């Protein structure tokens, strides 16, 4: 092996460390190095000298890998190699634990003040998201060392939301109160998102990171909840012969604290493992997209063949909102795992089938509902169910078109990604409208 | 005279696209062409070109494929696409405006091309 080969092999090892640069990229960079070295040797330099100059021109290894990491942030999400020297990525454990315990304390104070579960006052449900999610946003703000201006905006928005929903004079059992309680956590999740991307809200790549984070977080949270349920179940079993009276107290103290603390812990887990194992959302997507596509096509065929029987109500529309949301999730996480250049045409087709079938199904249901809307009238619940349906419908129609263009090789996965990241704004505006505009519009009833 | 690094960053996309309009090329050749065009005054780290090329590929402005040089060495060739040409035309309009604006102040006669 010549001096040049040895040096290049060393350099290659260094550039591949961390996982941001793939072996294929390294091939490309190596070809550059070799050609540059050859040219320099031709001018009279020795191998060693030529290599040093060529490497210097290429730039520092750290800066190159950092630039690749920025450009291909998706790669860090599916690395099998652990970059042990980069401990900062997951964030420090004490900081995470501090925030998790903080969330648990806040929820317990609120629970004691509200006397839950013996009574269930409206303000407790309304503020449920506010007890935990601002702490998650604060955790990311600390972790990412966001600029003071961003931190100020985040704090201000959270405070304004908290004041607004608590000053709204909701009447007893108001539909709008339930709707606000449901949508406020969604809105707060976007506040978390701004902290997550450290204020870089315009960057499509950072927005995509946040979408990935959301999917992974939900999976981690469900796993922790599952483990927590087993723990509580077994604790109950163990306690029942000796201290049956203590069981209720254990549940009251452990369940809310665990549920609140797990929000922070799950977020920390997603961040610290994102470079360790393949992420889960794309794997689940791969399994379920074909199954959903089959189910949806079957549903469309039978809806058309049999016709719709039975009563249509709001619950059904809410159910279809969930259906569209799931299909959207399948598309987004499927796309996020798609590797440029080596995508499978099959899964693109399956995704398109699923989206189109869901759209047809939704249009059938919407047509039925709108035809009868005269009998129902526009209550807040119906407005929200219908509005969300339209928001999702628009997204999926454009998604279907972009997916079709992609299959016809007239568009790229990047267009679809950009459409989804841009559409996040629409979702945020929609949640804000339900939380802030709808209640006054309906006189808080 | 070295050029400010923000300006280099702004220049990079139109420069690379404009070089690819001349014909398909690959990393090292693009770097050499830039050096030649700027008489070596436009200094950048060669390594930064590749993330840029990959970004252009991702947004569909260029197409890349592996090929080989005459000596049989592996090489990744980049071709400009229709969308890349459109992007270049758009960038060119912006640069023309910038040129005209500054040229007006500095009393230079700036050649403005048809975009």
User: Best residue in B25, B32, B40, B46 to probe A by mutation, most A CBs within 10 Å?
Assistant: B46
Residues A132 and A237 occupy one common structural domain: yes
Under an 8 A CB cutoff, do B50 and A72 touch? no
Residues A160 and A243 occupy one common structural domain: yes
- On whether residue A196 sits in a domain, the answer given is yes
Selecting from B46, B54, B60 the residue whose C-beta is nearest the C-beta of A58 gives: B46
Question: Nearest-CA distance from A354 to chain B in Å?
Answer: 25
Under an 8 A CB cutoff, do A32 and B59 touch? no
Given A273, A301, A336, the domain boundary residue is A273
Tell me which chain B residue has its CA closest to the CA of residue A32. Answer: B28
Please tell me whether the interface predicted TM-score (ipTM) of this complex is above 0.85: no
Characterize the bridge pairing of strands B74-80 and B62-68: antiparallel
- B114 pLDDT higher than 50: no
Show residues of chain B in contact with A59, CB under 8 Å. Answer: 45-48
Greater confidence, A150 or A315? Answer: A150
pLDDT at B41: 79
Given A219, A242, A273, the domain boundary residue is A273
Show residues of chain A in contact with B46, CB under 8 Å. Answer: 32, 36, 57-59
Residues A256 and A284 occupy one common structural domain: no
- B49 pLDDT higher than 60: yes
Under an 8 A CB cutoff, do A57 and B46 touch? yes
pLDDT at A311: 61
Q: Give the model confidence (pLDDT) of A188-224 as tens digits.
A: 999 999 999 988 888 888 898 898 889 889 989 999 9
Residues A62 and A45 occupy one common structural domain: yes
Question: Nearest-CA distance from B70 to chain A in Å?
Answer: 12
Under an 8 A CB cutoff, do B46 and A32 touch? yes
Q: What range does the domain containing A257 cover?
A: 87-273
pLDDT at A108: 94
Mean pLDDT of A180-184: 91
- On whether residue A441 sits in a domain, the answer given is no
Given A44, A71, A98, the domain boundary residue is A71
Q: Does B5 touch chain A (CB under 8 A)?
A: no
pLDDT at A81: 36
CB proximity list for A435: less than 8 A, separation 6 or greater: A161, A164, A165, A180, A183, A184, A187
Instruction: Give helix A380-407 / helix A345-371 axis angle, nearest 10°.
Output: 150
Residues A115 and A186 occupy one common structural domain: yes
- On whether residue A77 sits in a domain, the answer given is no
Q: Does B72 touch chain A (CB under 8 A)?
A: no
Under an 8 A CB cutoff, do B51 and A415 touch? no
- A156 pLDDT higher than 90: yes
Tell me which chain A residue has its CA closest to the CA of residue B72. Answer: A31
- A75 pLDDT higher than 80: no
| Whole-number Å distance between alpha carbons of A235 and A255 | 12
Under an 8 A CB cutoff, do A71 and B60 touch? no
- On whether residue A444 sits in a domain, the answer given is no
Q: Give the model confidence (pLDDT) of A327-353 as tens digits.
A: 999 888 888 766 555 557 888 899 999
Selecting from A28, A63, A414 the residue whose C-beta is nearest the C-beta of B58 gives: A414
- On whether residue A213 sits in a domain, the answer given is yes
Name all contacts of A146-152 with Cβ < 8 Å and 24+ positions apart. Answer: A146/A195, A146/A198, A146/A199, A147/A198, A147/A199, A149/A199, A150/A194, A150/A195, A150/A198, A150/A199
CA angle centred on A414, ends A413 and A418, rounded to 5° = 120
Query: What is the count of structural domains for chain A?
Result: 3
Q: How confident is the model at residue B19 (pLDDT cuts 50, 70, 90)?
A: very high
Under an 8 A CB cutoff, do A28 and B58 touch? no
Q: Give the model confidence (pLDDT) of B60-100 as tens digits.
A: 899 998 888 777 788 899 999 999 999 999 999 999 999 89
β-strand partners of B26: B77
* CATH code of the domain made up of B5-101: 1.10.10.10
Residues A291 and A312 occupy one common structural domain: yes
Residues A259 and A285 occupy one common structural domain: no
- On whether residue A418 sits in a domain, the answer given is no
């Amino acid at each position: 092996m010549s001096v040049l080969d040895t040096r290049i092999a060393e350099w290659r090892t260094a550039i591949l460390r961390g996982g941001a640069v793939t072996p294929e990229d390294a091939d490309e960079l190596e070809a550059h190095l070799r050609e540059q070295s050859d040219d320099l040797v031709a001018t009279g330099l020795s191998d060693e000298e030529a290599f040093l100059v060529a490497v210097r021109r290429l730039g520092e290894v750290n800066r190159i890998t950092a630039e690749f990491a920025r450009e291909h942030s998706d790669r860090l999400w599916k690395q099998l190699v652990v970059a042990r020297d980069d401990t900062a990525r997951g964030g420090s454990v004490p900081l995470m634990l501090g925030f998790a315990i903080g969330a648990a304390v806040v929820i317990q104070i609120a629970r004691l003040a509200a006397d839950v579960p013996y009574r269930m006052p409206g303000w407790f449900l309304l503020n449920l998201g506010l007890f935990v999610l601002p702490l998650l946003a604060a955790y990311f703000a600390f972790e990412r060392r966001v600029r003071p201006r961003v931190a100020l905006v985040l704090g201000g928005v959270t405070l304004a939301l908290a004041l607004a929903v608590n000053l709204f004079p909701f009447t007893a059992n108001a539909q709008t109160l339930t709707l606000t309680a449901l949508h406020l956590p969604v809105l707060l999740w976007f506040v978390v998102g701004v902290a997550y991307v450290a204020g870089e809200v315009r960057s499509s790549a950072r927005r995509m990171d946040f979408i990935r984070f959301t999917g992974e977080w939900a999976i981690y949270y469900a796993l922790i909840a599952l483990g927590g349920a087993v723990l509580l179940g077994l604790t109950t079993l163990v306690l029942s012969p000796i201290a049956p009276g203590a069981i209720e107290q254990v549940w009251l103290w452990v369940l809310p604290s665990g549920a609140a603390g797990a929000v922070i812990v799950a977020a920390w887990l997603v961040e610290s493992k994102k470079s360790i194992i393949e992420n889960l959302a794309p794997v689940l997507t791969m399994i379920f997209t074909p199954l959903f596509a089959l189910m949806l096509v079957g549903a469309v065929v039978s809806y058309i063949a049999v016709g719709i029987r039975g009563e249509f109500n709001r619950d059904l529309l809410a159910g279809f909102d969930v259906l569209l949301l799931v299909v959207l999730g399948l598309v987004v996480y499927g796309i996020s795992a798609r590797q440029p250049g080596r995508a499978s045409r099959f899964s693109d087709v399956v995704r398109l089938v699923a989206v189109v079938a869901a759209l047809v199904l939704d249009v059938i249901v919407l047509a039925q509902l709108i035809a009868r809307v005269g009998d129902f009238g526009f209550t807040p619940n119906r407005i929200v169910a219908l509005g969300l349906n339209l928001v999702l419908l628009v997204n999926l129609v454009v998604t279907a078109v972009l997916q079709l263009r992609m299959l016809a090789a007239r568009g790229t996965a990047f267009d679809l990604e950009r459409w989804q990241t841009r559409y996040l704004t629409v979702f945020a505006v929609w949640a804000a409208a339900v939380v802030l505009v709808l209640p006054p519009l309906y006189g808080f009833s | 005279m070295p050029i400010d690094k923000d300006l280099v960053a702004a220049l990079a996309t139109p420069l690379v696209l404009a070089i690819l309009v001349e014909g398909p090329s690959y990393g090292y050749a693009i770097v050499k062409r830039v050096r030649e065009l700027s008489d070596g005054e436009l200094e950048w780290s060669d390594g930064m070109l590749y993330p840029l090329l990959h970004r252009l590929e991702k947004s569909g402005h260029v197409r890349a494929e592996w090929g080989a040089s005459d000596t049989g060495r592996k090489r990744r060739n980049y071709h400009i696409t229709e969308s890349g040409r459109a992007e270049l035309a758009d960038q060119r309009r912006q640069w023309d405006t910038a040129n005209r604006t500054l040229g007006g102040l500095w009393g230079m006669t700036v050649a403005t091309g048809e975009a």
